[in-house]
Amino acid sequence: MNDVVIFDTSVLVDEVRTGRHRTRIESVDGVIRMSSVVLAELLRGVVGPSEHKFLRSLARNHPVLTPTRENWLESGEILAKIRADHGFEPHKLRDLHFDVLIALTAWSHGARLITTNRADFELIHRYRRIKLEVWRGLAAPWLSGLGGCQRKAPLLAKNARNGAPAGRRRYATAIASGFGWLLGLLCRRCGGVRFRVCPRAACLWPGLVRPLLCRF
């Protein structure tokens, strides 16, 4: 039986922004599953309706793993231990909470968790041993959710005010292409779930590498 693989938010954001992980993602051995916590982080960072529609379609049409009641309770216990051992401030503990939930979800399903966020997940790994694989990420810290979109937003707004929407269109096209490739891969690697093309969903991202897919 193939291993279950979960990608942390950091890997997906890096891929959509830069395409740097494409070859490694395609060659990962295992059945890919999405985490509801990762989807929540991505939804938190959207800057437009098209990105929101894409992520909601992904949540509807792809198998999603969600933290259990025990995962939530254990996440509080782990964070309390981290606070006692390291003296972290409340804001840092809040930042860690989603990462702890992602890690515990992976642990509950015996899944391998792939991340570029070495510092936080290696810390969590000390308190709950998980199958952790760390890839090299961006040199600059990435922001929560669609970090690239958040960082680009002020520049795109400035371009729009200056009557130069071309940069925004190029950026949106690049993000759409990255999302389209990622969705196509997840649909192919979901472990035998059958899909069909959904005409309405295919209209969400004109020019995608692949149309959005809907499960039977």
Residue carrying the six token digits 């981290």: 82
When comparing pLDDT for 50 and 83, which is higher?
A: 83
The one-letter amino acid at 9:
T
Q: Which two tokens stand for residue 71?
A: 């995962």
Check pLDDT > 70 for residue 67: yes
The one-letter amino acid at 73:
L
> Strand 64-65 relative to strand 112-115: parallel, antiparallel, unpaired?
unpaired
| H helical segments located in the chain | 9-18, 22-27, 36-44, 49-61, 69-86, 90-108, 118-125, 147-161, 166-188, 199-202
> CA 16, 20, 22 angle in degrees (round to 5)?
75
CATH number at 4-135+144-215: 3.40.50.1010
Q: Are 78 and 124 in contact (CB under 8 A)?
A: yes
Angstrom distance (rounded) from CA 30 to CA 48: 32
Q: Which two tokens stand for residue 140?
A: 């600059």
When comparing pLDDT for 45 and 75, which is higher?
A: 75
**Digit-coded pLDDT (tens) for 8-36:** 999 988 887 788 888 898 889 889 899 99
Using pLDDT thresholds of 50, 70 and 90, give the confidence band for residue 210: very low
Check pLDDT > 90 for residue 162: no
Angstrom distance (rounded) from CA 42 to CA 144: 7
**Digit-coded pLDDT (tens) for 100-136:** 999 999 999 999 999 999 999 999 999 999 999 999 8
Q: Are 98 and 45 in contact (CB under 8 A)?
A: no
Q: Are 179 and 202 in contact (CB under 8 A)?
A: no
Q: Are 135 and 24 in contact (CB under 8 A)?
A: yes
